[in-house]
Amino acid sequence: MNEFVRLTINDGVAVITIDNPPVNALGAGVPEGIAAAIDRAEQDRPVSSIVLNGAGRTFVAGADIKQLEDQAHGRGPGAPNLHGLLKQIEDCSKPVVMAIHGTALGGGLELAMAGHYRVAAPDAQAGQPEVNLGIIPGAEGTQRLPRLVGLAAALEMCVSGKPIRAPEALRLGLFDRIIDGDWLSGAVTFAREMAARGGPHPRTRGRNEKLGTTESNAELLAHGREQARKTRRNMLAPLAVIDALEAAVTLPFEEGCRREREIVETCLASGQAKALIHAFFAERAAARIPGISKDTRTYNIRRAAIIGSGTMGGGIAMAFANAGIAVLIKDADQAALDRGLATVRNNYETSVNKGRFSKETMDQRMALIHPQLTYDGFENVDLIIEAVFENLALKKQVFAEIDRIAKRECILATNTSTLDIDQIAAGTSRPQMVIGTHFFSPAHVMRLLEIVRGAATASEVIAAALALAKQLRKAGVVVGNCRGFVGNRMMLPYMREAQFLLEEGATPMQVDQALVDFGMAMGIFAVGDMGGLDLAWRVRQEYKYLEKPGVRVPLVLEKLFEMGRWGQKTGAGWHRYDEDRKPIPDSKVEALIEAVAKQAGIPGRTISDDEIIERCIYIMINEGARILDEGHALRAGDIDTVYLAGYGFPAYRGGPMWYAGAVGLKKIYEKIMDFHRQHGELWEPAPLLKRLAEEGNTFASLDASKEVLAVRS
C-alpha cells in the first residue's frame, strides 16, 4: 500500500482501492502499491478473497500517458513494467475480483484481465484504445483479450480502439457479472461467493478454449488486416496490433507476450506514436485558458435555443439533444422549419438503421427538440445560438431581438464562420455575454467547436462555452476574432494554393489524390464540392476587397460558378460524381483549367505530388505561425486540435504545426523562401516561423515554454 493504493478488510474480503486522480492511471507507484496490497491480502489468513477497484469516477484508464510520452521521446524511465504484477495477481491463491465502474481502458483492462473474475456497473466501458496513441497494448492485453472474447472481437476492439459497453462485455465473456446499484458491495458479495465455491480460479493465460483454429484464425486475421488498411489508413499501430494478436493464437502465452513487447517498442519509437500522444494532450490542453481556472464562476447550460433550422441549426440542435439538453429551435416560416426537422428526423433514422442506437433513443432525442415560429420560451433559456444566413445585417437584427428578450445571464452566441464577433456584439446591450460558437458541418458529427472570444467577451462566458463543449463531447478550442478565425483562415490560402497548382498543370484529381495519400480525410476539391462552390464564390466576393492589385488570384472557381457547377448539390463541380457520390475526374474541367491558364499566360508543367503537399500544407503552417504571432491562437497545439477535430488532418501526423516540427522548421522555412522567390508575397514567411527555424526550435517547444510561463504566472 502507498499514497495511491489503499487496503481495507471487509469481513474476510480484502478491498484494494486505487486512488490516483483524475483517472487512476497506472503511473509510477501505483503498480507497486497494488503488488504490496495483493501480497498483504494473500498473507492475511482471515482473508478469503480480494476485490480491486478504483476510487472516484472510474476504474483505471490505462498506463500514465505522460510517462509513455517521456519514453517515446527518450526522456525518463517511461511506463512501469506490469508483467510481474499481472503474474502475481493471476497466480494469487485467493480469488481476485476486478470491480469495474466508469472505464477500464488500456493497461486498466489489462490489469482487469489478469484478475480471476470481472464484475461491472451497468454503464461501465472497457477497451484497448492504444492504437489511438500509435502503440499497442503492452501489458499482455493482446494475449489475454482473445482468450476471453475470441479473436474476432479482440481484433475489432484493438484495431478500432473503441470501448465496448458492459452488456456487450458480458455477452463476449469479458465480464462475469453486471451489478446494478451499489457495484462495490455487489463485488464484495460476488467475491465471497467465489471464495465459498473454492478454486481453482480461472487464470486467463491458461484459457485457450476461445483461441479458434488455424483456418478460422487465418481468415479473421486477413480480414482484420484488410479492415485496418481501409478504416485506419496509413496507420502503423492497427496493423502492428494484429501481429500481436496473431502471436496470441499461434504461440504459447509467454512467447506471445515477448512478441507483444517487441512490437510495443517498435511502435513507441515511431513518429506516429509521438504525433498521436501529442494530439491527445493538445486536445486537453486547449481547455486551459490563462485567467480562467476551476474557480472561475460560470454559467450552467441546462436549456438552450437555436435560431435557424437550416443544415447548421438542425445539426446543432441534434448535438444538444444527443447530450440530453432540451433545445428550442426557431425559424422564420413553417416550410423552413418542417424542412429542418425532416432532416433531423432523417439523420436519426439513418443512425437507427445503422444500429448506432435504438428507436427509443431516437424518440427521446427528438422529444428534446422543440420547433417553433416565435421567441416564446426564449426568456427562460441559458444560451441562445444564432445560426441564420451568413449576412452581417441579418445577424445584427437577430441579436438586437434576442438582446431584448433573453434573461440577463443568458449567453448570446453566434455560429458565424466568417463575420466579426465584435460587430455583432456591438448591436447588443451586453457585449460581454456575446461569444462565437463555430460548429462544423454536420454539427452533430464533427467534433470541433471553435469558441471565438470577442473583445468584450467575459471570462465566465468563455468558461461556460468550454464546459459546454465537454457536455456536447466536442473538442472546444478558444480562438481569436480574426478573419476566418483559425480553421478557415488557414483553409483560405490552402484552397488558393491548390487552385494555383491546377493553373500550373496539376488536375483536381491529382491534387486530391496526393492529399488523401498524405492522410487528409478528403481532397481539397472534394471538400469544396461538398461545401458548395456557390458558398466558396460568395466568401470570395465577401473578401474581394482584400485582394491587392498585381497579386495573383485563382481564376477557375468563378468560371465554374458561372457555369452552375456548384459541386455535389448540382452533381458536378471540380469533379463530377457517380451515383455513390464518388468523385471522378471531369475532362471538361481539366480543359477549362488549361484554357484559362493559357489565356492568363500561365505555362503548364508536370507537378509532383511532393510539390502539391509542400504548397498546400506549408502555406497552412505559415498562416498558422502568423495566427500564433498575433495571439489568435494560444498554442500551436490548439491549431493542431482545430485541424484534427474539424478539417480531417491525419491524427498520426499530429496536426499541421506538429507536422512542421516533424519535418523540421528549418527545411520548411527554406522551402517557403523558395516559394516566396518563385511566387511572390503570398509566400512571405511568417516572422515567428523564421525565428523558430533560425533558433532550431519547434512550435511544440514554443508551447512548452508558454506552458512553463503560464504555470509560473
List residues near ligand T1G by CB under 6 A.
Answer: 22-23, 25, 61-66, 68, 79, 103, 105-107, 110, 129-130, 133, 135, 137-139, 141, 284
Min dist. Cβ of residue 294 to ligand T1G (A): 10
Give the separation between CA 97 and CA 117, rounded to whole angstroms. Answer: 5
Contacts of 668 (CB under 8 A, 6+ apart): 618, 621, 660, 689, 693
In three-state form (DSSP H/G/I as H, E/B as E, the rest C), the secondary structure along 124-185 is: CEEECHHHHHCCCCCCCHHHHHHHHHCHHHHHHHHHHCCCEEHHHHHHHCCCCEECCCCHHH
DSSP 396-434: HHHHHHHHHHS-TT-EEEE--SSS-HHHHHHTSS-GGGE
Q: Report DSSP state, residue 206.
A: G
Helical axes 665-679 vs 687-695, angle rounded to 10°: 140
Residue with cell 467465489: 194
CB of 41 or CB of 241, closer to ligand T1G: 241
> DSSP labels for 498-537?
HHHHHHTT--HHHHHHHHHHHT-SS-HHHHHHHH-HHHHH
Residue 130 Cβ vs ligand T1G, minimum distance, rounded to whole Å = 5
What is the nearest approach in angstroms of ligand T1G to the Cβ of residue 164?
13
Within 8 A by CB and 6+ apart from 586, the residues are 508, 572, 574, 575, 576
Q: Which of 32, 69, 90, 110 is catalytic?
A: 110
Beta carbon nearer to ligand T1G, 82 or 491: 82
CB atoms within 10 A of CB 79: 27
Classify 359 as helix, strand or coil.
helix
- Minimum distance, C-beta of residue 61 to ligand T1G, in the bound complex (Å): 4
Task: Name the minimum Å distance from CB 283 to ligand T1G.
Answer: 8
Question: Smaller CB distance to ligand T1G: residue 235 or 387?
Answer: 235
User: Grid coordinates representing 246?
Assistant: 496473431
Tell me the chain's radius of gyration from C-alpha atoms.
28
CB 20 → ligand T1G: shortest distance, Å?
9
Q: How far is the CB of 412 from ligand T1G (least distance, A)?
A: 27
Alpha carbon distance 123, 88 (integer Å): 29
139 versus 402: smaller Cβ distance to ligand T1G: 139
Q: Indicate the residue among 105 and 539 with the shorter CB distance to ligand T1G.
A: 105
Residue placing its CB nearer to ligand T1G in the complex, 64 or 640: 64
Q: Which residue, 137 or 314, has its beta carbon nearer to ligand T1G?
A: 137
Q: How far is the CB of 627 from ligand T1G (least distance, A)?
A: 23
Shortest spacing between CB 410 and ligand T1G, in angstroms? 27
Q: Which is nearer to ligand T1G, 277 or 524 (CB)?
A: 277
Query: Catalytic: 168?
Result: no
Three-class SS of residue 312?
helix
C-alpha cell at 250: 499461434
Report the amino acid identity of residue 26. Answer: L
C-alpha closest to that of 692 among 601, 625, 624, 609: 625
Nearer to ligand T1G, 286 or 495 (CB): 286
Answer whether 168's CB lies under 8 Å from 236's CB: no
Dist. CA 438–CA 566, nearest whole Å: 24
Question: Of 130, 246, 283, 450, which one is the catalytic site residue?
Answer: 130
- Our answer to whether residue 130 is catalytic in this structure is yes
Name the burial class of residue 238, with classes exposed (0-12), middle (13-18) and buried (19+) by CB atoms within 10 angstroms of its CB: buried
> Distance between alpha carbon 486 and the CA centroid of its chain, in Å?
17
Residues noted as catalytic: 110, 130
